[in-house]
Structure 1
Amino acid sequence: MENEIWKDIPGYEGKYQASTLGRIKSLNRYITRPHPKTKEVTRYLVRERILKNVVGSHGYYVVGLGQHNNQKTHRLVALTFLGTCPVNQEVRHLNGVRTDNRIENLKYGTRSDNHIDRYEYGSRMGSLNSQDVIEIRSLLLNGKTPTSVIAEKFGVTCGAIAHIRQGRTFQWLT
């Protein structure tokens, strides 16, 4: 089993920490709040706990750091252990699994790197990966299989197959 290392998240020191296993926790701390009815200010203890990850609309884990402050977990882990994200770069999931936020699976890279990863792992909106495209190209080259049959076999549209044939998509794949 891996050792889990916890570090303060930059900007949230003393409040929240991220771990090398991709988890986020809130730390013990006191907060003051006015009572909703009497408006009397009261001091509350917020106990340390692991925050619950929720899958957001784009398939990435999201955690709430206070009211109206949802953050993507992979970005918090990368910020904590890899440092500030360089200009024109974003966080990549090296194995293509959007919910795997372990630090060894995260790396900064360009948007182009991220798109190549998505095609490689078939994790974009469509379902084609590199091997599928190579097989589609070979079927197109032999000329015996109709486009509609190829599209049905791979679960994509005839337009997607036409774009592969024309070199409009997957140009980077040789």
Structure 2
Amino acid sequence: MKPIFGFEGTYAMSSEGVVFRLTGNTGKLLKSPKPVKQHIRKDGYCLTHLSKNNKVTTFLSHRLVWETMNGKVAPGAELNHINGIRSDNRPENLEICTRSENMIHKFKVLGYRQHTVGKRGEDHSNSLLSADSVKQIRERWKQGEPQSSLAAVFGVHQTTISDIVRRKAWRHLD
């Protein structure tokens, strides 16, 4: 096992990237090292909490693995999960890369879809309405139908109807 920089004698890492606690709360060596629990964030990345002198330090687990096994990550460099699984922090699943290489890997290798920036109306992946529906909403509102009833009919929130009739949304449509 390899000692973790700054936490030598208290924590160590196995060759598989698993962090182990070597000492108990009193500082006495444990009979057998205990694995440290990782916490998974909403975005899928794991966090590892290490304590020393009653102070807890939180690390992104993949960074802790890389830096323990390979040294510091250069400024501007990123770590890439080769298989795309953010919770898989084995050393062989991590590689150093540039931001550009990381994005190319994300879209070309892992098959992520391009984001919807620049797409409008029905072309936007989050669109709930069609161009025809928007035209009907504007026409029915001009004839006096309340926004709340239009929202119920078209299955959207009243603020969406408000944005449409005020041309905050679907501006490109006459």
Structure-1-length-normalised TM-score: 0.57
**Over 6 Å off, 4+ runs:** none
How many positions carry a matched residue from both structures? 117
CA distance in 2, matches of 1:89, 1:10: 20
By how many angstroms is 1:68 displaced? 3.5
The sequence identity of aligned pairs, in percent, is 31
Q: Does 1:81 align with 2:66?
A: no
Which residue of the partner structure matches residue 59 of structure 1? Answer: 44
Secondary structure class of the residue paired with 2:9: coil
Counterpart of 2:46, as a letter, is Y
Which residue of the partner structure matches residue 28 of structure 2? Answer: 45
Q: Which has the higher contact order (CA 8 A, sep 6+)?
A: 1
Structure 1 residues 117, 20: CA separation in 2 closer, same or farther (over 3 Å shift)? farther
By how many angstroms is 1:44 displaced? 5.4
CA distance in 2, matches of 1:8, 1:70: 17
By how many angstroms is 1:46 displaced? 6.2
User: What residue ranges of structure 1 are gaps of 5+ in the alignment?
Assistant: 1-5, 32-42, 130-146, 159-174
Counterpart of 2:28, as a letter, is L
Structure-2-length-normalised TM-score: 0.57
Q: How does 1:3-152 map to 2 (within 5 A)?
A: 6-28=1-23, 43=26, 45=28, 47=30, 48-66=33-51, 67-120=55-108, 121-122=110-111, 128=113, 148=122
By how many angstroms is 1:96 displaced? 0.8
User: What residue ranges of structure 2 are gaps of 5+ in the alignment?
Assistant: 115-120, 128-174
Secondary structure class of the residue paired with 1:86: coil
CA distance in 2, matches of 1:28, 1:115: 40
CA distance in 2, matches of 1:15, 1:25: 9
Counterpart of 1:72, as a letter, is L
Secondary structure class of the residue paired with 2:7: coil
Structure number with greater Rg is 2
